[in-house]
A and B are shown apart, each in its own frame.
Chain A
Amino acid sequence: MSKIIITGVLLLMSLNSFADNIAKAKYTFANPQQAQLFNNLLPNLRCLVCQNESLADSNAPLAEDLRKEVYQQVLAGKSQAEIISYLTNRYGEFILFKPPVESKTYILWFLPFLLIIIGITFVGIIARKHKNQKVTLNNQQRQLAENLLREVK
């Protein structure tokens, strides 16, 4: 069976000129920057129907509509900020997978780093508490210690 398939494949490959039968990309752009903008935007936009998928992955009809909308806007030369603004005006900030950095998300973005600083300080404090206390004796104490040790011997 596999031999038949392989023969068929080789035949097909030899009969077709690669130039004619190259698979066509679903979305074509005027330049690579547009393609990159499109490919960067889609995974970061949330599908509102299948809410745990991005617009890049979702098969929902609304996702398809929104993909087309984003595509049109990218082709029209709109910037990332403009497209995001267009979508958030209609769907709210919920549609963005990356929460914007604004007053209500300061805690979200900065608390982790604050916690690290607190944690490292904590480590420092604990290390200091556990530090080996080197004791130094003055002459009188040393004499007393030596006397006591002689007694024990």
Chain B
Amino acid sequence: MLPEFGNFSLILALCLALLQAIMPLWGSYNGKSAWMQLARPLAIGQFTFVLLAYLILTISFINNDFSVLYVAEHSNTSLPLIYRICAVWGAHEGSLLLWILILGIWTVAVCKFSRKLPLEVLARVLSVLGLVSVGFLLFCIATSNPFMRIMGELPLNGADLNPVLQDPGLIGHPPMLYMGYVGFSVAFAFAITALLSGKLDAAWARWSKPWTLVAWMFLTLGITLGSWWAYRELGWGGWWFWDPVENASFMPWLVGTALLHSLIAAEQRNTFKSWTVLLAIFTFSLSLIGTFLVRSGVLNSVHSFATDPQRGLYILIFLCIVIGSALSLYAWRASTLRVTTQFELVSRETFLLINNVLLVVAAATILLGTLYPLAIDALGLGKLSVGPPYFNIVFGTLMLPLLFFMAMAPFTRWKITEAKKLLSSLWLVLLISILLAIILPYIITQQLNGAVIIGLSLAFWIILATLKSVVDKASSFPRRRESSRSQIAMVIAHLGMAVTIIGITLSLSYEIQQDLRMAPGDVATIAGYEFTFINEQDAKGPNYDAVILSIAVSKQGKMLEMLYPEKRVYRASGITMTDAAIAANPWRDLYVSLGDPLDNNAWAMRLYYKPFVRWIWGGAFLMILGGLIALTDRRYRVK
């Protein structure tokens, strides 16, 4: 009975979403205040029924209700409770419901934090969000319903959740990622509203900014968690693969970052408004395109959900309606805007433009690389792979100028910046950065490495220049309270970027990997650390059988810690998984991953020494912290 209530709840949500999409919008054109007032209750009502449906699905998982097809396909009685709860979003239908739920959460948030918005604006924003909800709810109910029942004989037990997903990463990564993806729908809705009303003013930018910031923070967090999860779980020591689905999350992040920066100019200088609106449309469009790419089977990805061209067609139609309308509206309305502000060639405005161009071209490049195999195939020119080497080379090159300009950003002024003064105060900092980048690694490794010098130069350049800007400001005139929060936020976020660059540069350049055959008693030495294979033991987990190896890690004879890499066989599915063991500290990771068992009790193993790899994610957390601080700036309260 319960699953049927879930289905019914979804249908009710769809009805309310339809009303939410139509009535307030219509009301805003006819001046019918009553209809516009309906926006909030309709949105909250829709969310309530979506939440109900979601909870019912979760309960079905918790109670092992295998009469529900989705539960039977992705769960098992021996699956630990936490994973039964998270399995809801482990595959297509359930994760789609999560998407809809999170859209509902954002919609309700807009309802709550919008007291200062004119009713007309609120009505239109909620209607646009309602339209998106309608599309997804319709898609879910019609083609991907999680409440489908099994007809006929019920299975005794479920097929179990894919063992790769049975990891703490599943708890955080998808929800945070979706909070980000979906969150950009709010900026999108504000952009559409602005285009509809023809009013593109600083107020619009001020309303959009906090929503964009929060969405951006969640997306950063989601991507970071995904990278860290892959690193721990997959056993190859890699943290980014330029997989199409990863790219689908990175592109909105890049354009979202551009949007965030552009909103600054739009709000403070009343400029670039048309461009900012376009960025807002692009960012959410990339989220939607990402949804299409992941669920349609059009691309070759390890992350894709089980695919079905019919579902793909549905999403494509939805995409065309939403993005097509948005871009048509833009083409029409934006053409009437004129240039109103003035600024010089060297100014903060220009630097922001450069930031935007580089970020958008970077995103376009990733789109190009991701879709190129498809394009070549569609043209009948054969099958091609565009893998990490391409992205590393091209994206890496594009990042260099971005990082270079980023360091100078705090020194630019609106409207005009004296180029000579800029250069004279900074050339020494640049020189010091380059020298440090050459000397420091040389002292430790006795070698010169081009990639390291470039990466560290840019990172140090950003750090030193940004810190100099703080020192300059503190020593010049009395700090103005209002702007200091944003300045702190920028400093921390930019420093975070530099930290991530250091992590990437050093871990990639100095990591050591060895594939070895180790028998009990054998010792392997990497980067001054000794790994001694002690013994192996059998163990039983809640839903798997494991062989656990004990590896002692020591440095120059001094014992550091024990590592316990495992090989697990999950009973329900029979799938074998390898669980890597990591000895981590801020300066380096030591990583052991098992291969296959060999003769004479020996094992094939892969050992890694990865210096500074934690800095990659540490830097990302600094960026998120920067965002958080920016949020607390009193100017951006939109209550």
B-binding residues in A (CB < 8 A): 2, 5-6, 8-10, 12-13, 16, 18, 21-27, 43-44, 46, 50-54, 56-57, 59, 92-99, 104-105, 107-109, 111-112, 115-116, 119-120, 122-124, 126-133
Contacts and interface: CB of A to CB of B under 8 A. Distances in A.
Given A5-B550, A44-B389, A99-B384, 4 more contacts: A10-B559, A51-B300, A112-B368, A123-B357
Contacts of A46: 385, 387
Interface in B311-357: 339, 341-345, 349-350, 353-354, 357
Given A104-B381, A111-B368, A126-B353, A23 B345 contact: no
Given A93-B385, A112-B398, A132 B344 contact: yes
B55 interface: no
A51 B231 CA distance: 19
B537 to A, nearest CB: 11
A59 B164 CA distance: 15
A104 B372 CA distance: 10
B4 interface: no
Interface stretch (B39-47, B494-502, B521-529): B521-529
Considering the complex of A and B, which 7 residue pairs feature the smallest CB-CB distances, nearest first?
A97-B387, A98-B389, A119-B357, A52-B302, A23-B524, A23-B516, A112-B365
A12 B534 CA distance: 8
B81 interface: no
Nearest to A27: B515
B92 to A, nearest CB: 18
Contact of A9 (B360, B559, B604): B559
Contacts of A109: 390, 394
Contacts of A99: 372, 384-386, 390
A123 B349 CA distance: 10
Contacts of B521: 12, 16, 21
Given A93-B384, A98-B390, A25 B357 contact: no
A24 B516 contact: yes
A6 to B, nearest CB: 6
Contacts of A6: 559
Nearest to A132: B342
28 contacts: A9-B559, A13-B523, A13-B554, A16-B523, A23-B517, A24-B522, A25-B517, A26-B516, A43-B388, A46-B387, A52-B241, A52-B300, A53-B302, A54-B387, A94-B382, A94-B385, A95-B385, A96-B385, A96-B387, A97-B389, A98-B387, A109-B390, A109-B394, A115-B364, A115-B365, A116-B398, A120-B354, A129-B339
Contact of A97 (B372, B381, B385): B385
A31 to B, nearest CB: 17
Contact of A112 (B302, B382, B394, B522): B394
Contacts of A95: 385
Contact of B532 (A13, A93, A127): A13
Contacts of B345: 124, 127-128, 131
Q: Is the interface of B mostly helix, strand, loop or mixed?
A: mixed
A5 B522 contact: no
Contact of B384 (A22, A27, A105, A122): A105
Nearest to B387: A97
Nearest to A115: B361
Nearest to B350: A127
A114 to B, nearest CB: 10
Interface string B510-549: 0000111111011111000001111000000000000000
A131 B342 contact: yes
A46 B373 CA distance: 14
Interface residues of B, number: 66
B358 interface: yes
B369 interface: yes
Contacts of B534: 5, 8-9, 12
B383 interface: yes
Nearest to B349: A130
Given A46-B385, A99-B384, A131-B344, A57 B516 contact: no
Interface string B226-247: 0000000000101001010000
Contact of A18 (B384, B515, B523): B523
B523 A21 contact: yes
Contacts of B518: 23
Please indicate which of the listed interface residues B360, B517, B518, B523 has the most CB atoms of chain A within 10 Å of its own CB.
B523
Nearest to B354: A123
Contacts of B344: 127, 131-132
A6 B560 CA distance: 10
Interface in B596-624: 596, 604-605
A93 B372 CA distance: 14
Contact of A130 (B342, B360, B523): B342
A25 B350 CA distance: 55
Nearest to B340: A130
A120 B358 CA distance: 9
A25 B604 CA distance: 9
A119 B516 contact: no
Nearest to A126: B353
B432 interface: no
A25 B516 contact: yes
A43 B349 CA distance: 42
Contacts of A59: 595-596
B376 interface: yes
